Structure 1
Amino acid sequence: MQEDTSAASEFRFSINLPDDAIASWHQELEVLYILQGTGVLQLDDNQFAYEVRQDDIIVLNSYQLHCLDMQGSGKALSLFISPAFLAAFCPEIESIIIECKSFLYPKEEQARFDLLRSEFASVFQAYYKNESRLPILLRSRVGVLLNNLVHNFLEQNKQKDPSRSSSRERLRKATDYIHRHYRENITLSGLAATVYLSSSYLSHLFQKQLGLTFTAYLTNVRLSQAVTLLRSERTITDIASEVGFPSANALIDAFKRRFGVTPGQYRHINEHVAAEPNEKGTASEGFSTDFSSLMRHLHQPEQSIVRPQVNEVHDLHVDISRKIRSLSHNWRTLVNAGYAKDLLNGAVQAQIRKMQKEIGFRYVRCKGLLDDDMMLYVSKLSGSADYNFVYVDEVLDFMLSVELKPYVEFSYMPSALARAAVFPFKRPSILSMPEKLDEWLALVTSLVRHFIDRYGIESVREWRFAPFVSPEFSGYGVFTMEEYWVLYRETSHAIRAINPQLHIVGPGSNIDSSDYISDFLVSCSKDNCMPDSLALRAYHSILPDQEDTGLQLMAEDEAFPLAASGDEQFLGHSLHKVKKMLRQRGFGNLPVILEEWSNSIWQRDLCNDTSYKSAFLFKNILENYDQFEAMGYWSLSDHMEEIVPSADLFHGGFGLFTRGGLPKSCYCALQMLRYAGSSLLSEGDGYFITSSKSEIQIFLYNYCHYDTLYRYRHTTHLTQTERYNVFNIRNTRKYHICLDGLMPGVYTERRYSVGPAGGSAFDEWLNMGAPKDMRPEEWSYLESRSLPLFQMRSQQVTANFVVNAVVQPHEVQVILLTR
């Protein structure tokens, strides 16, 4: 088998947490840094025990026995460097010993350790900045660190004992086998036979080298795995089976002997701790600072993210006479406008009018039409209730006045109908099943009939109706999936009973829930309640255990417990999976709409205000152009909040507009995308070229994805003004686009761009000095600058005309050539 020499196999990072302690060793060279708190480090057959504290840095040589026990909220970070890389870089390091224990030296003798800390931080930054795509760069940084170790921390006149390494190598094969097969029924005799040793000799090795019996070591490995699984929702019985214990009682007994509490008590304690603010782990803005102590050792922290100087050159030839397909511009079908009551706000209405004038959508969707603040279902003292559709009528009248058709979602549950009162957001929105299903159905029926009476059946047939909220809300525990299905089915039947031609959408499930979507549609088919459109949602988020990053997701009040996906084609890959399932199930002709989507589930992501968001919209709309029947970006305005509002102008909301109505870079992106022509000529990574009549439209973007740290809400270089340090490194892109077959003549070239260099409200605000309080004339200035940069010129064009463009990271451009 050919050896894997990729950077990913040569280096890896791991975070050490409390309860991870287990005596072990490995072939790799390990550089250990204490991020926060204190711990106890035992070395060399437990002969030495040291207290380690934040900022200590230690090197563990290959086959050096050690056990790190972090205390309380302590955390440590380890870099493992493979033997293969060590042998290639420095063959002699296999036989020498590195002596590096910073805690043994006073403050005045820490200079050489500070240099090592800086180099360690540089490697860590490169690894999680996705610079591992450039393995030469990452290897060079590791090489610098190793060079420092060999020249400044070599233990003079001391070499490794080959016989000791030999005996540990024999034992390593046994412990490696345990770590791979701990779920199985492993016995001492069976393990000894596997590694070609006698049972007595193997037992002796465990006692001599580890100070543990074989059984104790196996139990510790299983317990360490159990601790990890206790952070999930699995039962104790399932966890016991998963990690190799014969029964739940066996796990409970072993767990209590080691940790002093039962697994259930441990889970309860850690859930309580996780729910409390962690002063050492989070900053006031809600950002993790786990790595702050390390990252401050970078040589130039204020310039820690070195911007790329390399240009990626893209030479394209486009035959303008060849049309790939016609375009319908379905991304302009739907827009989300927050909650129904927000549409009665004059500021929000002004933003919608501006959007309709400058972009133009067909449908508008809002949540909370049935919320108590809409007062459509009012309880009386007698216990009965009255319908009142005054606010509902005002909301719908406004929608129709700006030529937007309603996308009506029957949500949430009026308190007078609710079986329970669970508030998923900091709004008067109740998530619940109805206490009496017939009363819910009577409300929905009355409301739909009211729509028809007021607006006419011909108009209402063009609307969209969603029977209830997303099924994923069952995660709050207020209803089961079976209860959800019954409510959806009966509500759908009630709407269709009024008029079978009314358009129903559902269920609003997450786009990566293919199994549930499949089961839902099969049930709909059997019970005659098939939706007219399949409604999905996509927030480019995943469960933390879906990736192996070694990082823990940092809890955040303004977000669900999901990490941002590392898949830059998340939307396209997820849609492909859904459509494949639909074809296999016989639902291939069912239209798919994206009723909600954004870059993450975090409502205080400061990157939402930056030019990153315009590139995000360009990338995802252009790469999935017309693949959905609608793409309802979430959401129109920062005025729509599901959490406590912020006084800051740029506070990381989802909106296209700030609370004050200032258009963000993402709004400018949609303005620019409206120039797309009727025919697609060419598309690829970073470009999309269309035509219409006598004009060519070229769309260019240089998208930069979040780095791995930020995807798990860890950051050390993000502030109100510094927001571009949390992305993967990307090169500047240089395009040479040859338009073959262009009719010669005089053309007008118009160029629009948005990026950190200009055209973005946030970046222009930075250029103004990031003022907190602005005078009216200053606000007017910022508003005038919150538009795409624009250039225009006329030029003589030949048959094979070349368009040149340079696109910086986070920048989007549109080039229009009009004859």
Structure 2
Amino acid sequence: MRDFKEYQYEMIQGQESLPINVIIHSVEEFQMHWHKEIEILFILEGSINVRVGEESYFLRENDLILINCNELHSTRRLKDNNALLAIQIDPEFYNSCYPQFNKLVFDCKSFIFGEEQERFDIIRYYIAKIVWELNKRNKGYQFVIGNYLYLLAKHLLTNFDYVIIEDEAEELRDEDIVRLQRIIEYVNKNIDRKITLKEIAEREHVNYYYLSHFIKGKMGISFQEYVNSVRLYNAVDMLKNTDKSIIDISHASGFSNVNSFNRIFKETYNCSPSEYRKNSKNMSEYVNNSTNYKTIARSKTYLDVDRTSALKKLFTYLKPIGVEVKEDYGITNNIEYISVSGMDEGQYLEHYWQNLITFGRAHEGLRANWQKQFREIQREIGFKYIRFHGIFMDEMMVYNVSPEGNVEYNWTYVDELFDFFMEMNIKPFIELSFMPRGLKRSDETVFWWKGNISPPKDIKLWTDLVQEFIKHCINRYGIGEVESWYFEVWNEPEYEYVFWAGTREEYFEFYKDTALAIKSISKNLKVGGPAITHGTILGSSWLKDFLIFCQKNNVPLDFLSIHIYPEYIPEESVEKFYQLIESGVDVGNKNFKPKRIYHEKNHVLNTINIVNEKIESILNRRMEVHITEWNASSQLGNPIHDTCYVSTYIISNVLQSIDKVDSLGYWAFTDIFEEQKLGISHFHGGFGLMNKDGIKKPSYFAYYLLSKLGNEIIDQGEDYIITRSGEDIQILAYNYTYFDDLFLSGDTSHINHRERYLIYENKDIREIEFNINGVVGDYKIIKYKLNREHGSAFDEWLKMGLPENMTLEEIEYLKGKAKPEIIVEYVGLKGEYRIRFQMPVHGAEMLVLEKKA
């Protein structure tokens, strides 16, 4: 709640050059104000009391009321929570068309007319469209909003009763407002002492009883109720922000005695001042001392409400928005022209993005359908390493204890999985995490498959297991092969009691003992970690302390592994998360889905740069850096995972991060993934490049196109790259479009299972014309198009009608339809080749010039 003084005369600032202000907020306490703007209040959730002049109204969800210019009005919370949208319009906007508009007093109250809501629904529609346009900010959106404001005014004039305020009546109303303002200013200035209505009546030179009626009529509450409201507000501020005693706060707030303060406080807040302070302090300390889940904590914003549910309600009044995408390849005004020589010396390009791919957990890799999908992706794209959870989990049956109490190791399932890796020409990037039951110190688990996150009950038993595992692998595959593998110690240990049921210091020691055990077998074995997330890196000293620990204690650290996702979780979701943990809830198994707010567009690159700077400043050397988890969202079930957006997200970040990291491991290659049980829908927002049926998503084809790049960079720009391999030339360009402001803020009201493309900023078709010089001879030219019309399985599924439980025939049909467009031609070139790419939003195009013998 803001200072009461701010409500005396509220100056409304417009949105940039627009004559409006839009606020979504909740009413917590008594709020009284007036202003020259017209205001429409639309209740999106709950109920509130609104008083206008001397009339009081009860508004429920879906009700709206228009507050006219300079009408004194107040709002007060009732028992239930509430959320409302206020749109405030400067009447001077209408002066050129209707100079007297600010003197019109409309009677516009939807709750009076019961089911006769058609004319009010038109107002709701205009409000929804204005908010929508403010969010999307298309080119010229100001004109669109201006159009809706004029339509709204016309609708009010033609469909609602109104009167024109005469100059004399306006003067009388102004006198009342001036008097009320004087009274409020006097109360605020003297709130810390006893104030009586009698002394104010004497100051105003009016009768005591007249003044009492005047205040009650204008404010809707008695003089003493208003004074108590101001005092309570000041008291709450002191309870939260000072160490003053309850008695001192009572006195400083102006209450006659502490008993009166306690009684009025409890009537208002349903708890005593001491209880209120204790609860506020506990929550503040709890959040400040907690490690955030894949997040950087951020303070709550002003008037924090559930914007998502509120806007979902508002946007139900939008007219249906179609999902059909049409490619317009007409002339645009922003064509970029790129000219290069195909014979220029290029910069070496390592396909580092193919160094690492990931999947859920080891046991999933034993399934036939999983292996079928992996054979296909490895054949078409080809990765060097593969990372996964749970190599020692009980379902792999590695760690056993005989009836006599002897430890016995069973490598059968490990051999089956690793033999498959060798067959597929890929090496394991082995995450040593999740404790076998026989070694656990405690019972904490995570995910549906209940991975145990505790440290070992005996570190010697753990290091024996790790050493015996490596020795077995050396015996089976040879020491040269195993020395080319990576051994990563644990997974996200900074999330205490989420992925590591121990302290940070315990993890440091655990890492040291594990690393030394590995190196005792061969100094050439690669060991590293700590597999922490971007939130911890950016928001704490965790990484710095880990690097210093390793340096001071001569702990082996051959590579650093980190996780990067584009979101963080705001403070209120973090509070809920840790409340669940504190209450003993298994958060992973509860399918906890906190609100997520997205970082800015270059978050991945910025995080990588920060990590490299930390390594250089602390260790004074370069080190291999592997991003062992990375995706367009950390949320399983996020609808964006299946869309064409992810293809350009991958291409953009991969090309942006060249020479910055050693791998960028996409999490994960398949939707055969069971952290929260297998997804039900064919397109349920799984992490995978392929869905559970083996249907390739646009993200898959992003890697497919990237794999066709050459090994030399001839030229690279913000949204394209030109490479060479021998005499062959490759061009890859894309139209990467990031989220709009509403979605960036964590609001998901305009995305659902069917409609997944309304959350992006508006951009035009990206048009680039490439001119390649120095190409002579016969060439095979292959053109690829990847966009919503070509290569997007979700969009094809949408056209099919979103069928679930598809037959094999339907699945095969979708596999055939959901492929990039390919055009092949053979040409003889005499020194130049020119082509124009025209890429819609979320689209990519590639050209491959293959020199024929």
> In the TM superposition, what is the alpha-carbon distance from 1:139 to its structure 2 partner?
5.1
**Counterpart position of 2:322:** 303
SS at match of 1:445: helix
User: How far apart in 1 are the matches of 2:355 and 2:418?
Assistant: 17
Amino acid aligned to 1:103: F
SS at match of 1:7: coil
| Stretch moving more, 581-590 or 563-572 | 581-590
> In the TM superposition, what is the alpha-carbon distance from 1:374 to its structure 2 partner?
1.0
- How do 1:329-728 residues align onto structure 2 when only pairs under 5 Å count? 329-380=351-402, 385-474=407-496, 476=498, 478-512=501-535, 513-514=537-538, 515-545=541-571, 558=591, 560-587=593-620, 589-710=622-743, 714-715=747-748, 718-728=751-761
**Counterpart position of 2:131:** 124
User: How far apart in 2 are the matches of 1:475 and 1:248?
Assistant: 37
Q: Retained in 2: the 8 A contact 1:338–1:635? A: yes
Deviations 1:180-214 (A, max 9, x none): xxxxxx98589xxxxxx9xx99x999998685556
| Stretch moving more, 612-621 or 759-768 | 759-768
SS at match of 1:473: coil
Instruction: Note if 1:246 corresponds to 2:244.
Output: yes
Q: Retained in 2: the 8 A contact 1:706–1:728? A: yes
TM-score under structure 2 length normalisation: 0.78
Are the structure 2 counterparts of residues 257 and 649 from structure 1 closer, same or farther at C-alpha, using a change threshold of 3 Å? Answer: same
SS at match of 1:106: coil
User: How far apart in 2 are the matches of 1:171 and 1:585?
Assistant: 62
User: How far apart in 2 are the matches of 1:371 and 1:168?
Assistant: 72
**Counterpart position of 1:551:** none
User: How far apart in 2 are the matches of 1:524 and 1:762?
Assistant: 46
SS at match of 2:314: helix
> In the TM superposition, what is the alpha-carbon distance from 1:596 to its structure 2 partner?
0.3
User: How far apart in 2 are the matches of 1:83 and 1:325?
Assistant: 61
User: How far apart in 1 are the matches of 2:458 and 2:740?
Assistant: 48
Q: Retained in 1: the 8 A contact 2:791–2:819? A: yes
> In the TM superposition, what is the alpha-carbon distance from 1:174 to its structure 2 partner?
10
Instruction: Note if 1:779 corresponds to 2:806.
Output: no
Deviations 1:652-709 (A, max 9, x none): 1111112122222211111111111222233334322222322332222223334455
> In the TM superposition, what is the alpha-carbon distance from 1:456 to its structure 2 partner?
2.5
TM-score under structure 1 length normalisation: 0.81
Deviations 1:779-818 (A, max 9, x none): 3332223322111224465656432121112222212233
User: How far apart in 1 are the matches of 2:88 and 2:614?
Assistant: 41
**Counterpart position of 2:335:** 314
Deviations 1:602-629 (A, max 9, x none): 2112232222222221222122234221
Instruction: Note if 1:59 corresponds to 2:66.
Output: yes
2:121 aligned to which of 99, 110, 114: 114
Q: Retained in 1: the 8 A contact 2:679–2:686? A: no
Deviations 1:500-550 (A, max 9, x none): 222122111112423322222122211222522221111211122599xxx
Amino acid aligned to 2:511: Y
> In the TM superposition, what is the alpha-carbon distance from 1:288 to its structure 2 partner?
6.2
| Stretch moving more, 401-410 or 207-216 | 207-216
Deviations 1:1-48 (A, max 9, x none): xx997639965544334x7233143656543222233x1223247x43
SS at match of 1:698: strand
Q: Retained in 2: the 8 A contact 1:507–1:535? A: yes
Are the structure 2 counterparts of residues 526 and 168 from structure 1 closer, same or farther at C-alpha, using a change threshold of 3 Å? Answer: farther
SS at match of 2:335: strand
Q: Retained in 1: the 8 A contact 2:360–2:675? A: no
User: How far apart in 1 are the matches of 2:527 and 2:389?
Assistant: 16
Amino acid aligned to 1:425: F
| Stretch moving more, 163-172 or 755-764 | 163-172
> In the TM superposition, what is the alpha-carbon distance from 1:259 to its structure 2 partner?
1.8
**Counterpart position of 2:795:** 763
Amino acid aligned to 1:783: K
SS at match of 1:642: coil
> In the TM superposition, what is the alpha-carbon distance from 1:594 to its structure 2 partner?
0.8
User: How far apart in 2 are the matches of 1:373 and 1:312?
Assistant: 60
SS at match of 1:697: strand
> In the TM superposition, what is the alpha-carbon distance from 1:392 to its structure 2 partner?
1.7
Instruction: Note if 1:294 corresponds to 2:307.
Output: no
User: How far apart in 2 are the matches of 1:686 and 1:174?
Assistant: 62
Q: Computing the radius of gyration over CA atoms, which structure comes out larger, 1 or 2?
A: 2
Are the structure 2 counterparts of residues 411 and 11 from structure 1 closer, same or farther at C-alpha, using a change threshold of 3 Å? Answer: farther
**Counterpart position of 1:281:** none
Amino acid aligned to 1:127: L
Q: Retained in 1: the 8 A contact 2:91–2:101? A: no
Instruction: Note if 1:258 corresponds to 2:261.
Output: no
Q: Retained in 2: the 8 A contact 1:33–1:55? A: yes
- How do 1:177-326 residues align onto structure 2 when only pairs under 5 Å count? 211=223, 216-217=229-230, 219-220=232-233, 223=236, 240-241=239-240, 243=241, 246=244, 256-261=266-271, 262-263=275-276, 290-298=310-318, 300-303=319-322, 311=332, 313-320=334-341, 325-326=347-348
Are the structure 2 counterparts of residues 580 and 11 from structure 1 closer, same or farther at C-alpha, using a change threshold of 3 Å? Answer: farther
Q: Which runs of 5+ in 2 are unaligned?
A: 1-11, 194-199, 205-210, 251-260, 287-306, 574-586
User: How far apart in 2 are the matches of 1:501 and 1:456?
Assistant: 13
User: How far apart in 1 are the matches of 2:235 and 2:104?
Assistant: 34
User: How far apart in 2 are the matches of 1:816 and 1:173?
Assistant: 75
Seq. identity, %: 26
Are the structure 2 counterparts of residues 771 and 546 from structure 1 closer, same or farther at C-alpha, using a change threshold of 3 Å? Answer: closer
Q: Retained in 2: the 8 A contact 1:541–1:562? A: no
Are the structure 2 counterparts of residues 440 and 52 from structure 1 closer, same or farther at C-alpha, using a change threshold of 3 Å? Answer: same
Amino acid aligned to 2:658: Y
User: How far apart in 2 are the matches of 1:144 and 1:490?
Assistant: 72
Q: Retained in 1: the 8 A contact 2:134–2:141? A: no
Q: Retained in 2: the 8 A contact 1:734–1:806? A: yes
**Counterpart position of 2:207:** none
Q: Which runs of 5+ in 1 are unaligned?
A: 179-185, 191-196, 226-238, 272-286, 548-554
Deviations 1:60-98 (A, max 9, x none): 456643214254354323335579978999886666555
Deviations 1:218-240 (A, max 9, x none): 643775x8xxxxxxxxxxxxx95
User: How far apart in 2 are the matches of 1:585 and 1:87?
Assistant: 64
User: How far apart in 2 are the matches of 1:616 and 1:761?
Assistant: 17
User: How far apart in 2 are the matches of 1:105 and 1:301?
Assistant: 26
Q: Retained in 1: the 8 A contact 2:345–2:714? A: yes
Q: Retained in 2: the 8 A contact 1:609–1:762? A: yes
Q: Retained in 1: the 8 A contact 2:64–2:110? A: yes
Amino acid aligned to 1:524: C
Q: Retained in 1: the 8 A contact 2:547–2:619? A: no
Amino acid aligned to 1:479: G
Are the structure 2 counterparts of residues 221 and 631 from structure 1 closer, same or farther at C-alpha, using a change threshold of 3 Å? Answer: farther
**Counterpart position of 1:15:** 24
| CA-atom RMSD in angstroms | 4.2
User: How far apart in 2 are the matches of 1:570 and 1:603?
Assistant: 20
User: How far apart in 2 are the matches of 1:82 and 1:173?
Assistant: 26
User: How far apart in 1 are the matches of 2:181 and 2:326?
Assistant: 44
Q: Retained in 2: the 8 A contact 1:536–1:594? A: yes
User: How far apart in 2 are the matches of 1:697 and 1:418?
Assistant: 52
User: How far apart in 1 are the matches of 2:656 and 2:808?
Assistant: 40
Instruction: Note if 1:751 corresponds to 2:783.
Output: yes
